[in-house]
């Protein structure tokens, strides 16, 4: 669908370097990266709004590197919408139609269909300045969809919205993707948003594409420690991995506990576990691991709960394990069942598939 090779663009001290990037047709890809990582610039460059210093871009197998933006058929929705203030909502949505009447075999979606789908039919004669944030975003989306784009770029589409509107608009984005099947790149700096909406995600840091893959894979198994930090992996510790007698098994010594895991990374490694994957249980009378889960659990530590807080819908536990800080996120029902309080002694258990090792050598 979209393929980018050796893309380079420099603005001031900032370098955008994308060596190889390809997107399958029909994908909903979330491009995530911190502010200033070059996400918007990358999209604008692909959309033909900037000329790259070097590199080539293909869309549907056709090279479009030096084509003007109007020839590409990319729908672009910015965070601030940029609805044309001197036109009504209907005129905004219909803005691009006159350029796309002849081309395209199947007819573009009608304005009424789009507005029905996005629930903005009663706004058609309004002035864009009178719309709320969510309404503006929907109109901008309808305007981009009206030209029946081959690719849809959404630049922080939910960035300025309040949490409730964010959820509504987010759902509509997914509905649109489902009904039109347009390959979509959704840019955000918020990794939880990326996790919610993306089939697959691509992470960009400092102008470089760090990792791309299925959402869960990228979140659980970041390629570098920096990436893990950005993606909100809260439990990251450096340790020494030593090979064992068995092939593919290594021995790790962490917090005065030694355990073996299946891996071939040896030497200095960063051990990386997402907070929501850490299983917590009250350390009851019996010590040690539960026999049933033995094959599944890589390691277990004992620690004391330092703080219990409730950000959003989850309960966040900060646990002190021999001087190191571990974070676990449990659901409210678990909290109700176990009643974790500050000062409780708990057992932390780390499942095999949640333990990710990043080689630091």
Which positions lie near other proteins, rule CB under 8 A?
44, 47-49, 68-70, 72-76, 78, 80-86, 95-96, 98-100, 128-129, 133, 136, 140, 143-144, 147, 160
Q: Which parts of the chain fold into alpha helices (H)?
A: 39-46, 89-93, 111-118, 133-145, 163-180, 191-197, 215-220, 225-230, 332-338
CB of 219 to other proteins, least distance (A): 29
With CA atoms as reference, report the closest residue to 241 among 227, 226, 254: 254
Return the percent helix, strand and coil in the chain, to nearest 5.
25, 35, 35
149, 177, 180: which is closest to 69 by C-alpha? 149
Nearer to other proteins, 106 or 129 (CB): 129
Q: CB nearer to other proteins: give 118 or 218.
A: 118
CB of 70 to other proteins, least distance (A): 5
Among the listed residues 96, 167, 87, the one whose alpha carbon sits nearest the alpha carbon of residue 123: 87
Nearer to other proteins, 127 or 224 (CB): 127
Residue (147 or 202) nearer to other proteins, CB: 147
Which C-beta is closer to other proteins: that of 159 or that of 351? 159
CB of 47 to other proteins, least distance (A): 6
Give the three-class secondary structure for 353: helix
Helices 163-180 and 111-118: crossing angle in degrees, nearest 10, is 140
Pick 83 or 280: Cβ nearer other proteins: 83
For residues 196 and 170, the answer to whether their CB atoms sit within 8 Å is yes
Tell me how far apart the alpha carbons of residues 42 and 186 are, in angstroms, rounded to a whole number. Answer: 12
Least separation, in Å, of the C-beta of 40 and other proteins?
10
Give the DSSP letter of residue 176.
H
Structure tokens belonging to residue 184: 């979509």
């Amino acid at each position: 669908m979209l393929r980018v090779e050796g893309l380079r663009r420099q603005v001031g001290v900032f370098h955008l370097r994308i060596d190889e990037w390809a997107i399958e047709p029909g994908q909903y890809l979330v491009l995530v990266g911190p502010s200033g990582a070059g996400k918007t610039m990358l999209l604008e460059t692909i959309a033909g709004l900037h000329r790259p210093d070097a590199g080539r871009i293909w869309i549907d197998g056709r090279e479009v590197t030096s084509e003007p933006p109007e020839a590409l058929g990319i729908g672009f929705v910015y965070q601030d919408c940029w609805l044309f203030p001197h036109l009504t909502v209907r005129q905004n949505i219909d803005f691009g139609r006159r350029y796309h009447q002849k081309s395209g075999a199947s007819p573009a979606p009608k304005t009424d269909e789009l507005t029905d789908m996005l629930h903005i039919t009663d706004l058609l004669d309004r002035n864009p300045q009178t719309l709320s944030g969510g309404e503006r975003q929907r109109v901008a989306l309808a305007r981009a969809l009206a030209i029946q784009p081959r690719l849809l770029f959404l630049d922080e589409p939910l960035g300025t919205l309040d949490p409730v509107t964010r959820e509504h608009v987010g759902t509509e984005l997914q509905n649109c993707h489902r009904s039109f099947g347009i390959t979509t790149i959704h840019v955000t700096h918020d990794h939880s948003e990326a996790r919610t909406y993306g089939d697959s995600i691509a992470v960009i840091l400092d102008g470089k594409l760090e990792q791309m893959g299925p959402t869960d894979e990228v979140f659980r198994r970041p390629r570098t420690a920096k990436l893990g930090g950005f993606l909100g992996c809260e439990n990251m510790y450096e340790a020494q991995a030593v090979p064992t007698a068995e092939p593919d098994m290594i021995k790790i010594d962490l917090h005065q506990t030694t355990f073996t895991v299946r891996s071939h990374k040896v030497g200095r490694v960063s051990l990386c576990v997402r907070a929501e994957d850490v299983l917590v249980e009250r350390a009851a009378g019996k010590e040690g691991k539960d026999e049933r889960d033995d094959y599944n659990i890589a390691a277990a530590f004992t620690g004391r709960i330092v703080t219990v807080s409730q950000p959003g819908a989850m309960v966040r536990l900060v646990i002190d394990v021999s001087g190191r800080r571990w974070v676990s996120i449990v659901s409210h029902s678990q909290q109700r069942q176990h009643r974790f309080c500050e000062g409780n002694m708990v057992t932390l258990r780390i499942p095999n598939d949640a333990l990710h090792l990043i080689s630091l050598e």
